[in-house]
Amino acid sequence: MVSNKKALEMVDVIAEMFPNAECELVHDNAFELTIAVLLSAQTTDISVNKLTKPLFEKYKTPEDYLSVDISELENDIRTIGLYRNKAKNIQKLSQSLLDKFDGKIPRTHNELESLAGVGRKTANVVMSVAFGEPSLAVDTHVERISKRLGICRWKDNVRQVEDKLCKVVPRERWNKTHHQLIFFGRYHCLARKPKCDVCPLFEECREGQKRYKASLKEA
């Protein structure tokens, strides 16, 4: 693992590469963002945005999602994976919002995580993007690049990755860093084909070095 100082230097390089990184899920309010993040599990943001354009015109409130039969909601979101489960969670979440939170998205981690389909990552994204609260959500991209770069251990779970990043990165940068790490993973250090040959972190990246050595052996 690299030192905290080195880890922050790496995060700084990534920040320079993607200074304008931001949430790519299209939404107009905290409720829409929560639905979009819930829908985005194991699906790309592009697919979710295609889906939510007509979805958010049809369903604007928790009551709207509860006013239709589950099969109709399933049909409206069937273009994305796990749609049956997601439809069930959207209706459960909508019911909880009406029962416990006056129909609004709550503003604390614990309350958010009490909602169906909302785990720590989703709660962090909503806290950060919708309410501007410092949070550093760890998704598949953030986890992968943190481990490849040696900021975290390969065996760390997502909570350990989050804790380590929060220790390394100053609190006032958590929200921006979250998006910058996602952009780095989505557009540069891709899961299958990372762009190691043009990566400014290549010299100090254990994964990049490993891949380079393996390519020399193959040659």
Which residues sit at the interface with ligand SF4, rule CB under 6 A? 148-149, 188-189, 194-196, 199, 201-202, 205, 207-208
Report d(CA 156, CA 2) in Å as an integer.
14
Among residues 139, 147, 156, 176, which one is catalytic?
139
Q: Is 205 labelled a binding residue?
A: yes
Shortest Cβ 210–ligand SF4 spacing (Å): 8
SS3 (DSSP) at 67: coil
Report d(CA 147, CA 153) in Å as an integer.
6
Q: Is 199 labelled a binding residue?
A: yes
Closest to ligand SF4 by CB, 115 or 199: 199
Shortest Cβ 205–ligand SF4 spacing (Å): 3
Q: Residue of minimal CB distance from ligand SF4?
A: 208
Closest to ligand SF4 by CB, 13 or 70: 13
User: Is 69 marked active-site?
Assistant: no
Q: Is 166 labelled a binding residue?
A: no
Among residues 76, 86, 121, 156, which one is catalytic?
121
Q: Is 23 labelled a binding residue?
A: no
The DSSP annotation for 151-206 comes to SS-TT--HHHHHHHHHHHS-GGGHHHHHHHHHHHHHHTS-SSS--GGG-TTGGG-H
| Residue 77 contacts residue 41 (beta carbons within 8 Å) | no
Closest to ligand SF4 by CB, 16 or 64: 16
User: Is 12 marked active-site?
Assistant: no
Please choose, from the candidates 173, 152, 155, the residue with its C-alpha nearest in 3D space to the C-alpha of residue 164. Answer: 152
| Residue 212 contacts residue 196 (beta carbons within 8 Å) | yes
- Annotated binding residues for [4Fe-4S] cluster, written as ranges, equal 189, 196, 199, 205
- Annotated binding residues, written as ranges, equal 189, 196, 199, 205
Report the catalytic residues.
Answer: 121, 139
